[in-house]
Structure formats: structure tokens, C-alpha cells
């Protein structure tokens, strides 16, 4: 990826030029589409505000990308390139990323440090994502900028020293019309900027606020939020309300003048004495208020350019406090740039590290085969299994430190080609290469990963969670699954025990979470392996019952004090609460989708008729049969490595797995197809982890309450709301985790959408999609609103389940348990797959 930003803003161009290129929503969409139509643009987003238009793109060539973006800008604005070029700024590669960080933090805004630009950048990102316009690398670049912007406002005093355009305007207004607390204010327009204006006026204690808008319903909604009044816009009401106002703020986004000289004169003539002075603020581009209005007596007019100068002067006078805060924000930007450089360096070395790991794995398997052949009948299966495990652990431990260190060195010293050194030292040139650019496309849900079955893209991350989950680049395991103790950088004297299943995936994801907890608290975390029924009983899940088979033993260890916390794959949890146990945290979720690993790099659509695809899940089996009735679905159990080996050794043509598990194990390079949600809805809660601890009524240790509080720092409420809604479908259907039910919830602001699918015992699929509006945005400090959000999420799941059950006429699995499960199971040399 090469990041390129082409823009024009208040620093590079006069307001007259910005006025001429102002774009509405349709114009922004057309600009983005025009950019993406270019030959050299792989992904793009368009940011358009009242004082800037910027095109942000992932390009394959600097000059080609610049030409494509410039052509799109000319087409969208209707201006000649030679006229535009003198005002344009171009940022490339590292400078482009730094510019995005600076913009997101508000350091490039008219109003230094203002937070509104962060919301505008987020809307540009969301619009591009929903349009399918983002590449994986561009997604990461924008998300990194948004995260930096949040940190700048949360971790520094930027909000307390920054002064918005509206605050500057009100300060000036008080000199012209008197105290704001005694002034009558009129806002023309009811959009997002009008809402900000209303909130600013209300905060200043303005005597009265009137909202004038062509759509009365929107005006009333905004007026209600600040205790104001709403008036429908027409010629008469415009003149009457301007006459009654002391302060008028106009921001309609109209394509023509709203207040011209004649209308203002008419308002002045109707104005009651002695309140003749009127202060006008024009926040719109193109202008809402004709510039010659400023020449009239008793009128003062401020436009965006005036406000910019006022704010710049105010910032210069603010002194050392402002300078210190800006320096602090720039420090955060430098940290973010360093982290970005290290990530890219690690990405460059990752394919070589992956090749080294593959070489080591092949050597281990060759040595194991030699030993097994030599021992022959003298060694039973258990002994051979232990030998193989020991060989693998030894190889992992030998390779772990050098591979971690080489990534660190690559980030620290860009002058040395460590990839070439590894390739030469270990003769990796003949090893199969892992394409870093291909893998990067699977790093973020919503990007276009490799081949896909079905027309839609993989689901974007539900909940819009801003905090990143445990880092999982898909090329290496998320954590060393052989670790027994995680040591913090600064030990505070306490050790907690974390219970987990013994599988490599469970150990890896639990260890990664333990590292987060250790870093957050300074506690030493001991990893305790608990053997569950699901680990030792290879009976097909549908026959075993599924619900709780991977959970109950870990919960018993928790309640008896053998462990202090437990980490589960959330989709394995029974829907009924367990006495004495609290769900303490749902960390940020990773990709919830399912993936296919098939022979010869085939996608689901490309598999020939009669192909055999493995899965132990009735949900997957039912949806696979619906998508490809001409293939055979065969049951398979065992860990991820075992299932993939069925494909590589020829017993299966493909196997369907959860993307999250494949990613966390670092085996993303083996994925041949990401199954779109139109083909395969995931299991409720798939991709999420659940962290449990003892409830207050089951405390054993005096420090249990402190532990619950610490775990709350790992929680992501957006992810929790999504999985709550999904699992409510299971709960209402009184079904377990092995039932043929799929569900995926997505949260966008306060809008929660749930799509669910259910199969009856004949394999008929029924799908439903429902929407709910939450009481408040996620993260609201209002405990009542948070409870209402959870209630709404749960109710959405219940209603979806009711609709599905009503359409199917029965609860699936009650008349013929496991009817949707695979009818045959993979046989290996030693029997049923394990």
C-alpha cells in the first residue's frame, strides 16, 4: 500500500475557492466513485467539510494515483485543473499518515483542537466502508487516525484549551448585542452543524433559541433538545424571526443565498426598538448570507474566514498552556508514527518468518515420521502423540525468541534487510511464499479479502468498537500457547490464575488476554489448563449435546477456587446464566465470519460437484447444503490443525472454520475463501471471547472485588451488545450452541441490526433481519440508558427468534436431534477424526 492524500483547505486556499468547491452528500459520493474508477487507486475515501476537501487513497503508483485523484476532483467540482492546482496540497506515504493524524487531532483545523473534525473524518470513513471503497491497508490507516484523534482528546487537555468557531463567534456577539444570557438566538437549518450551534448556545445560557427549518419535524426535534421553539421556514417566517433575533446563525447547506440584503433590510425595519443591533454568523459553504449584508447599519456579519482569523489571534494570545498541550498532542502523533513504522516493518518480515515456521514444522514432521517408522509396533498411539507434541514444542521454543527479535530489529533498524538474512541463513528461497498483501486484505472485516463466495463482502466488525482486540496479524499465533506464566513489565506483587481449555487455540487466545491483563494491572497471570468433556470426547457435537461441553469443567475450577478467572470462546457458553459466576468482560471482537480452507486454493463456488467439505456444526452443514446442494458435507471434530490436515492429507476437499480461530493461530495464509454472510451466517457470539469470574455472592478471596473491577477494563460494550442480541435468538429458541442457528448483529451509532437464520429438521432455511434503535450511544455514562440498550438488544433477538420459529413451525432439533448435522464423519487411519 502507498497512502496518498490530495487536498485543499483553509490554509491553502481562500474561502472563495472553498465556497466554489463545496460538495453535498451526493457530490462527495460522486467524488469518491470517480477516484475509485481510476486505474491506480485501490481504495479511497473523501473528506469534505466547510473548510476542506481531501481525497485519501491507497494507490499503486504515486503519479498514476495523483492523476486519477486529480481527474476525479476536477469532474466533481467543475473547475479547471490549472485553477485548482495552485491551491492543492499533496501528502505521500509517511507524510500522508502523519497528516491524517494531525487532521484527526484537530491541529489542522480552523479552530485549533476542535473535536468536530474527528466526527467528520469518522463519517467519511463509514461512508467509504459502506460503499465498499476501502482496501485493507487504507482501513487501517484511517482507523489509526481515528484512534489517535480519540486519544488526543481523552489523554490531553486539548478540549479545555481549544475554542470552537461558535465559542469565538459568541464572544464577538456579546460585544455587539450585549450579554448572551439576555439574547434571543435564531438558528437557520437543522442539520448536524445546527445541532452543534444549538448546544453551544444552550451551554452559554442564551435567553431563547428558535430553530427555523423547511422540515418542521427536524426543527422540532432539535428545538426539543435545547428547550427551544421550532418554526417552519418560509419567506414570511424568515423575515419575522430574523427581526426578533439578536443573534442569527445560518448553516443550511443550500445552494443559494438564504439571507440577502433585501430580506435583512425588511427584518431591520420590523425590528422592535431599542434592540436594533443584530449579529449574523454564516457557517455555511456555499455562503448562506450575502456578503454585502455586512454594509448595513446595526449589522455585524462573521463568515468562516473571519472566524478563522479571530481564532488564530485568540490561540496566539493563549500563551504557554496552549503550546504545552499542542506539544503533548504532537508527542502522541510521534508515538503513533513510530508504531505505524514498526507495524509496517513487521509486515515486511512476517512472510519470511512464516516461511521459517513452515520449514521448522516440516522438519518436525519429517523427524516424527522417521521415529515412528523406526519404533514401529513398539510404540502405541499415546506415546507417538506425546513424541510429536514434544518435538513441536521444542521447535516452537527454539524459533520463538529469534522470530520475535527479528521483528523488533526490523522495526528498529530499517537499514538492514533481515528478511534477506533469514532467507539466506535458513535457505528459505525454496519455501512457499506467503503474500503479505493478500494476508493484509483479511486483517479487517469489511475489506475485500482474496476470493469470496457470494456477492457481499465479509461482515464489518460489529459494534464499531474503537479499541483494538488482541493483536492478531493472521501470520503468527496471537500468543505463545506453551506459556504457563505471563510476567508483567512492572510486577505489583499479585498473582491470579486464569483457567482455559487445553487446545492450542484456547491457550493462545487466553495467553494473549493474560498479557493484556498483566500489562493493565502489573499482576502475574498463571495459565491453568483445564480438561473439558469436549476435549476428550470426540462424539459428534450434535449427539453430545453441544451446550456447555467446553465450559462446565472450567466453571467448576472457577467456583472451587482452583482458578480466579476463566476465558472461553463466547459462542461455547450456554445461554442460561450460571449461579455464582459473572460475565466480567467481553473484549473487542475480531472477525466473526466463517472461512473455507480447500485444496488447490479453491473457493466454495469453485469446488467441483461431489466435493467433500468437513464441519462438525449443524449450522454450517445446513447452510452449506443450501448454498451447494451438489457437494457432500461430512462431520469432523478436533482442533484447527487436525481439521486442516484432513484437507492437506486428502481426506477432505475443504473444511469450514471460524475466521477468528484461524487468525489467532496465525494460519490466515491457508484460507482460500471468506464466506459472505449471504452464504454463511456465523454462530451467535462467534469471534468474541468471554471472561468470567466469581460473582459477589460467591467470593472466595478478599481480592475478588478488585479482580472484577480490573476485568472491566478489558470490556467492550459494543461487542457485548451485539453478542447479547445474537445469543438471545438461541435463548428464545431454547437451543444450544450446536443448533442450526446463525446470527450476526451490527451496531452503527445507535442503530442495531440483527440478521439471523434457522433451519428446520428437513434442512429448510429461514432468514430474518430486524432493526432496533438504542436508547443512547454505546459508552454513555447513564446507567439507565445502558440498561435500556441491553434490554433493546435482547428484545431484538427474541423478536427475531419468534419470527423464525413462527415461519418454521417448530424448534429445530426437537423432533429429530441433530437432523441438520453431517450424516457421515471423517475416518482416519486411527478411526474417527480427533
Active site residues: 50
Check whether 429 is labelled as a binding-site residue: no
Q: Compute the Cα dihedral for 103, 105, 109, 115 and give only its sign.
A: positive
Burial degree of 106 (CB within 10 A; 0-12, 13-18, 19+): buried
Which has the closest alpha carbon to 76: 56, 96, 110, 48? 48
- Per DSSP, the residues of 316-358 read HHTTHHHHHHHHHHHHHHHHHHHHHHHHHHHHHHHHHHHHHHH
Asked if residue 189 belongs to a known ligand binding site, the reply is yes
Per-residue burial over 66-97, b if 16 or more Cβ lie within 10 Å, else e, is bbbbbebbbebbebeeeebeebbeebbeeebb
Q: Is 51 known as a binding-site position?
A: yes
Residue 786, CA atoms < 13 Å, CB-side half-sphere: 10
- Residue 804 in grid coordinates: 423464525
504 is in an annotated binding site: no
Distance CA 592, CA 755 (A): 13
Do 64 and 40 contact (CB within 8 A), yes or no? yes
Question: Kind and range of the H or E element at 49?
Answer: strand 41-49
Helix (H, G, I), strand (E, B) or coil at 731: helix
Look up residue 341 and give its three cell numbers.
Answer: 513504522
Helix (H, G, I), strand (E, B) or coil at 187: strand
Distance CA 686, CA 297 (A): 67
Place of cell 476532483: 73
Pairing of strands 208-213, 184-188: parallel
Say if residue 69 carries a ligand binding annotation. no
Q: Are 474 and 620 in contact (CB under 8 A)?
A: no
Q: Which residue has the cell 449461579?
A: 579
Among 436, 431, 434, 439, smallest CA distance to 362 is for: 431
The secondary structure element, H or E, covering residue 185 is strand 184-188
Asked whether the beta carbons of 219 and 243 are under 8 A apart, the reply is no
- Count other Cβ atoms within 10 Å, centred on residue 277: 16
Q: Is 620 exposed, middle or buried (0-12, 13-18, 19+ CB in 10 A)?
A: buried
Q: With DSSP H G I counted as helix, E B as strand and the rest as coil, what are the percentages for the chain, rounded to 5?
A: 50, 15, 35
Per the CB < 8 A criterion, the answer to whether 301 and 269 are in contact is no
Give the angle 533-393-410 at the CA atoms, nearest 5°: 120
- DSSP at 761: T
116 has binding-site annotation: yes
- What Cα–Cα distance (Å) separates residue 46 from each residue in 13, 28, 55, 133, 369? 18, 6, 5, 10, 57
DSSP letters spanning 407-475: HHHHHH-TTS-HHHHHHHHTTGGGSPPP-HHHHHTTSSBTB--SSEESSSPPPPPGGG--S--S---SS
What letters, b where the CB count within 10 A reaches 16 and e where it falls short, cover 302-329? bbbbbbbebbeebbeeeeeebeebbeeb
**C-alpha separations of 648 from 110, 371, 598, 605 in Å:** 59, 21, 9, 19
**What is the rounded distance in angstroms from the CA atom of residue 276 to the CA atom of residue 623?**
72
Sequence ranges of the binding site for NADP(+) = 189-194
Q: Which residues are annotated as a binding site?
A: 49-52, 109, 114-116, 120, 189-194
Task: List residues forming the annotated binding site for substrate.
Answer: 49-52, 109, 114-116, 120
Amino acid at each position: 500500500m502507498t497512502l496518498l492524500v490530495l487536498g485543499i483547505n483553509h490554509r491553502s486556499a481562500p474561502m472563495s475557492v472553498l465556497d466554489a468547491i463545496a460538495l453535498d452528500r451526493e457530490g462527495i459520493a460522486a467524488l469518491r466513485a470517480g477516484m475509485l474508477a481510476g486505474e491506480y487507486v485501490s481504495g479511497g475515501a473523501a473528506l469534505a467539510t466547510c473548510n476542506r476537501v481531501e481525497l485519501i487513497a491507497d494507490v499503486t503508483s504515486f503519479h498514476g494515483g495523483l492523476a486519477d485523484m486529480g481527474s476525479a476532483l476536477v469532474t466533481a467540482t467543475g473547475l479547471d485543473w490549472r485553477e485548482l492546482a495552485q491551491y492543492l496540497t499533496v501528502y505521500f506515504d509517511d507524510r500522508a499518515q502523519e497528516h491524517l493524524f494531525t487532521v484527526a487531532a484537530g491541529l489542522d483545523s480552523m479552530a485549533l483542537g476542535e473535536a468536530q473534525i474527528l466526527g467528520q473524518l469518522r463519517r467519511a470513513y463509514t461512508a467509504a466502508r459502506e460503499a465498499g471503497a476501502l482496501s485493507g491497508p487504507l482501513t487501517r490507516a484511517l482507523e489509526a487516525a481515528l484512534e489517535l484523534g480519540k486519544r488526543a482528546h481523552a489523554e490531553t487537555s486539548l478540549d479545555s484549551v481549544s475554542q470552537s468557531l461558535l465559542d469565538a463567534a459568541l464572544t464577538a456577539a456579546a460585544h455587539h448585542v450585549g450579554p448572551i444570557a439576555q439574547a434571543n438566538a435564531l438558528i437557520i437549518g437543522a442539520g448536524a452543524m445546527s445541532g452543534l450551534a444549538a448546544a453551544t448556545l444552550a451551554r452559554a445560557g442564551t435567553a431563547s433559541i428558535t430553530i427555523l427549518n423547511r422540515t418542521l419535524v427536524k426543527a422540532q426535534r432539535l428545538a426539543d433538545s435545547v428547550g427551544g421553539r421550532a418554526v417552519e421556514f418560509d419567506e414570511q417566517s424568515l423575515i419575522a424571526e430574523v427581526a426578533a433575533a439578536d443573534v442569527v446563525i445560518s448553516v443550511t447547506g443550500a445552494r443559494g443565498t438564504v439571507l440577502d440584503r433585501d430580506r435583512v433590510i425588511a427584518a431591520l425595519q420590523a425590528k422592535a426598538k431599542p434592540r436594533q443591533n443584530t449579529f449574523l454568523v454564516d457557517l455555511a459553504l456555499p455562503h448562506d448570507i450575502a456578503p454585502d449584508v455586512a454594509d448595513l447599519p446595526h449589522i455585524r456579519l462573521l463568515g468562516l474566514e473571519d472566524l478563522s482569523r479571530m481564532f488564530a489571534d485568540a490561540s496566539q494570545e493563549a500563551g504557554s498552556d496552549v503550546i504545552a498541550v499542542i506539544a503533548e498532542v504532537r508527542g502522541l502523533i510521534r508515538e503513533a508514527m513510530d508504531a505505524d513504522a514498526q507495524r509496517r516493518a513487521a509486515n515486511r518480515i512476517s512472510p519470511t518468518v512464516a516461511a521459517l515456521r513452515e520449514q521448522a514444522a516440516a522438519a518436525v514432521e519429517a523427524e516424527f515420521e522417521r521415529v515412528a517408522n523406526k519404533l514401529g509396533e513398539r510404540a502405541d498411539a499415546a506415546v507417538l502423540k506425546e513424541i510429536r507434541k514434544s518435538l513441536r514444542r521444542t521447535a516452537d521454543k527454539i524459533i520463538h525468541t529469534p522470530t520475535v527479535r527479528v521483528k523488533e530489529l526490523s522495526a528498529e533498524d530499517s537499514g538492514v534487510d533481515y528478511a534477506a538474512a533469514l532467507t539466506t541463513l535458513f535457505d528459505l528461497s525454496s519455501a512457499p511464499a506467503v503474500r503479505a498483501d493478500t494476508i493484509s486484505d483479511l486483517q479487517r472485516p469489511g475489506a475485500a479479502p482474496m476470493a469470496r463466495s457470494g456477492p457481499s463482502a465479509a461482515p464489518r466488525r460489529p459494534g464499531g468498537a474503537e479499541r483494538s482486540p488482541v493483536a492478531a496479524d493472521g501470520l503468527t499465533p496471537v500468543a505463545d500457547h506453551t506459556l504457563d506464566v505471563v510476567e508483567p513489565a512492572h510486577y505489583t506483587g499479585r498473582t491470579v490464575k486464569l483457567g482455559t481449555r487445553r487446545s492450542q487455540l484456547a491457550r493462545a487466545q487466553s495467553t494473549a488476554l493474560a498479557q493484556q491483563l498483566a500489562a493493565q494491572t502489573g499482576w502475574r497471570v498463571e495459565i491453568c489448563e483445564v480438561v473439558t468433556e469436549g476435549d476428550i470426547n470426540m462424539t459428534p457435537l450434535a449427539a453430545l449435546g453441544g451446550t456447555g461441553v467446553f465450559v462446565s469443567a472450567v466453571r467448576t475450577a472457577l467456583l472451587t477456587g482452583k482458578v480466579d478467572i476463566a476465558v472461553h470462546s463466547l459462542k461455547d457458553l450456554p445461554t442460561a446464566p450460571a449461579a455464582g459466576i459473572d460475565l466480567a468482560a467481553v473484549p473487542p471482537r475480531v472477525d466473526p465470519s466463517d472461512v473455507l480452507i480447500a485444496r488447490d486454493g479453491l473457493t466454495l463456488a469453485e469446488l467441483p460437484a461431489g466435493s467433500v467439505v468437513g464441519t462438525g456444526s449443524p449450522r454450517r452443514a445446513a447452510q452449506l447444503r443450501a448454498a451447494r446442494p451438489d457437494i457432500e458435507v461430512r462431520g469432523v471434530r478436533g482442533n484447527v490443525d487436525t481439521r486442516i490436515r484432513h484437507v492437506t492429507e486428502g481426506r477432505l476437499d475443504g473444511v469450514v472454520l471460524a475466521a477468528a480461530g484461524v487468525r489467532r493461530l496465525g494460519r490466515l495464509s491457508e484460507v482460500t475463501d471468506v464466506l459472505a454472510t449471504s452464504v454463511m451466517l456465523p454462530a451467535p457470539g462467534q469471534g468474541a471471547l468471554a471472561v468470567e469470574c466469581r460473582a459477589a455472592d460467591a467470593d472466595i478471596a478478599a481480592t475478588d472485588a478488585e479482580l472484577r473491577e480490573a476485568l472491566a477494563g478489558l470490556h467492550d460494550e459494543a461487542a457485548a451488545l451485539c453478542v447479547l442480541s445474537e445469543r438471545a435468538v438461541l435463548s428464545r429458541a431454547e437451543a444450544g450452541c450446536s443448533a442450526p442457528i446463525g446470527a450476526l448483529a451490527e451496531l452503527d451509532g445507535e442503530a442495531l441490526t440483527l440478521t439471523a437464520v434457522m433451519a428446520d429438521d428437513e434442512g429448510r432455511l429461514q432468514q430474518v433481519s430486524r432493526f432496533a434503535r438504542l436508547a443512547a450511544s454505546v459508552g454513555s455514562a447513564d446507567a439507565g440508558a445502558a440498561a435500556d440498550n441491553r434490554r433493546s438488544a435482547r428484545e431484538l433477538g427474541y423478536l427475531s427468534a419468534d419470527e423464525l420459529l413462527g415461519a418454521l413451525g417448530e424448534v429445530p432439533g426437537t423432533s429429530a436431534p441433530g437432523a441438520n448435522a453431517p450424516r457421515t464423519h471423517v475416518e482416519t487411519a486411527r478411526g474417527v477424526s480427533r
